[in-house]
Amino acid sequence: MSTTQLRGGGPVTSVLTGQVRPGREHEFEDWTRGVTRCARRFPGNEGVSWLRPEEGHRYHAVVRLRDARRLAD
């Protein structure tokens, strides 16, 4: 099912996961701040939260949108 087929007007949350190369964490975290600032300008964006790993190098972004249509745009 594509996001364009979803019905309803409720909020949508999407989780993105990425592996960061060891030693590049600081550079990646700088990049995430820019992504978050940019995302604020998108209609329907309700926020982005970044989850830092306790161990390892796998980061997660939790993206919240007003509705499924915004996810498909």
Residue 49, both tokens:
């939260």
For 7-43, write each residue's pLDDT tens digit: 557 899 999 999 999 999 999 999 999 999 999 999 8
d(CA 38, CA 52) in angstroms, rounded, equals: 20
pTM, entire model: 0.76
In whole angstroms, give the CA distance from residue 26 to residue 44.
29
